[in-house]
Structure 1
Amino acid sequence: MSLRATATITTVLVDDERLAREELEFLLRDFGDVEVAGVAENGIQALELIEKIEPDLVFLDVQMPGLDGLGLIRRLQDKNVQLPYFVLATAYDQYAIEAFRLEAMDYLLKPIDKERLGVTIQRAKKYLSELPAPEEENLVRTAAPKSKVVVRTGARNLLIDVGDLIYATIEGGVVRIVASGVTGESSYKTIDELQGDLDSEVFWRVHRGYLVNLNRIREVNPWFNSSLMLKMDDAKGTEVPVSRAHAKKLRSFFKL
């Protein structure tokens, strides 16, 4: 497997107790290669923050009002996108089995011990080093790129030229295509699958949840935490976030 350089581990902290968030953030300051990119005090805030920032690692409290930590993981899994690694933190150990069933990377008991936290960070570095680099994420194509794709609207299957495809996104496990004059569902199961049939020089995966046509970008603007926000060339002028992992490549492409 290709190795990915992990100079900095971007992290989000999720806990409904302010003192617990501040204590963990304080402990993480001693790990120079860890950046706390955002904090959330409940699962709903965390859901939005994780989708925007696309962190490498999430420290997640298990017990929170409303959407708890385990529910947040399940909600993200239902979106059928690549997930960050999760470290569950709780004062109770009865959640350990469920945590690992949901494929959490690690499980920390509160109050968090700094030495034990160091073991977690080393584990995260190992896991992240084995991920493909962003520029290596595209699928290997064995045939020429397709010139048309199908968009379903109601009972109709419309064939559109790929040049008219503005962007694709995934909502509730369904890939949706926005094109000139038509918006609808795709028969592709994942954005990766759709991307594999298109020209990789034109269609870029700028975010886990978005594939964009570079020729249909109207604006490229600075955004949250050194990232970018694209305004697309559809009727709504849809704004599409660019993850930090892909922002550098896009800046180079547009000479920004």
Structure 2
Amino acid sequence: MQNKIKAMIVDDEPLARKGLAVRLEQFDNVEVVGECHNGLEAVTLIPQLQPDLVFLDIQMPGLNGFQVINKLRELNQTIPLIVFVTAYDSYAIKAFDIHALDYVLKPIDETRLSEAMDKVSTVLSMHQEGDHKHRLAKLVADFTGDDCEEILRKLASGESLDSPTYPDILAIKDGSEVTRVNVDRIQWIDAAGDYMCVHTEGDTHIMRRTMKELEEELDPKKFVRVHRSAIVNIQYVSKLVSHVSGEYHLVLNNGTELKVSRSHRDRVKDMINK
């Protein structure tokens, strides 16, 4: 009798894990050897259990699906076959047809799951794991996977996944003078009419640029838009405070307090929690 395919399920939603486990019971050649409720647990258990196949949710707290794969690679661990589980139906077809063994959409359809398992069986029987892992490695090597929706959008539209480069110096012109400001020393930027006030650790520089232009020039992993008229360097944030009124404010290391608008609140909270 053919050895069973050892499968793991990684998903932060208990009902999703249970539903997939129940559906996999119909496959006589599949044995679910473990379940993980987040990416950190998956990074620990995958090397221990050494499954042949992992059903990997993409959007999870802590480590998302892309980051799980990247972390396993960093630790020089063997990466099993991956079938992504995603709710991003508008992107999934193009994205995963190129880079993954297969994908299933939430809620999981039994017919679609059968097709995915047929593909898994074929790959395992023909020893084609190498090709799958090469494509998977290319995916995580090209992009860190920090923003799930952005990477899927780019994959689907055929855009390059190469990480953009951002300048270390911001050149600020004031009359006949140009001051070179180290970007890492910028604490926050706010708008003052038609001008931008660039606040560093000891000075405030005035420049005539739009907020949108500055936002595009600054590394989004370091700088976050907190309001229509303010951008903050996250490394200078001391704390995020919620008020009784429902408003949120960022407090910087120097005591400066900046209001966080409702439209930017989720992004700010994500940056703070990393």
**TM-score tier after normalising by the smaller chain length:** 0.3 to 0.5
TM-score by length of 1: 0.46
TM-score by length of 2: 0.43
Structure number with the higher helix fraction is: 2
Larger Rg: 2
* Structure with bigger RCO (C-alpha 8 Å, 6+ apart): 1
